[in-house]
């Protein structure tokens, strides 16, 4: 169950598994897509106020439990930080899909060479397009 999983994740991140934290993390795990603070408020039936959600998400972010995703929608979105992946967003209806496709390693090497950086540790990449329903 998501609540059980959330509790385990909180404990392994050395966070107390409070009701609010479990609820928020379980919601993010269940949705499996990026959600805004407003979405999270609705999904948790307004049992958490906006300030609490923001504060909790910040704590989760510091512990690597959630990831902030910028999908250019003018608001921050958060998702459970599971496997590394990318997204494609419909610019008409806002539908978000996860992608299993990642950049080839060679590109990361090229970036390192071109930038003369010592290491390239991570990257963020999102795609935008129009879904079939919106054509």
Positions in the binding site for Zn ion (CB under 5 A): 79, 90, 92-93, 95, 98, 102, 131, 134
Q: Which is nearer to Zn ion, 14 or 72 (CB)?
A: 72
Query: Which positions ≥6 away from 2 have C-beta within 8 Å?
Result: 26, 27, 29, 30
Q: What SS3 state is found at 99?
A: strand
Measured from the CB atom, the residue of 42 and 93 that comes closer to Zn ion is 93
| Distance in Å, CB of 32 to Zn ion, minimum | 7
- Three-state SS for 16? coil
Min separation Cβ 74 and Zn ion, Å: 17
**Residue 26 near residue 2 (C-beta atoms within 8 A):** yes
Cβ distance to Zn ion smaller for residue 10 or 69: 69
């Amino acid at each position: 169950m998501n609540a059980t999983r959330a509790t385990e994740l909180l404990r392994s991140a050395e966070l107390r598994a409070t009701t609010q934290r479990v609820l928020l993390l379980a919601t993010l795990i269940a949705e499996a897509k990026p959600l805004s603070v407003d979405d999270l408020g609705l999904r948790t039936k307004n049992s958490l106020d906006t300030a609490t959600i923001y504060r909790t998400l910040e704590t989760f972010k510091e512990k690597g439990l959630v990831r902030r995703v910028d999908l250019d929608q003018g608001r921050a979105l958060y998702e459970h930080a599971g496997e590394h992946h990318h997204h494609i967003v419909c610019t008409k209806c806002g539908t978000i899909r996860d992608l299993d496709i990642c950049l080839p390693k060679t590109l990361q090497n090229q970036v390192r060479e071109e930038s003369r950086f010592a290491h390239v540790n991570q990257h963020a990449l999102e795609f935008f397009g129009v879904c079939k329903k919106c054509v």
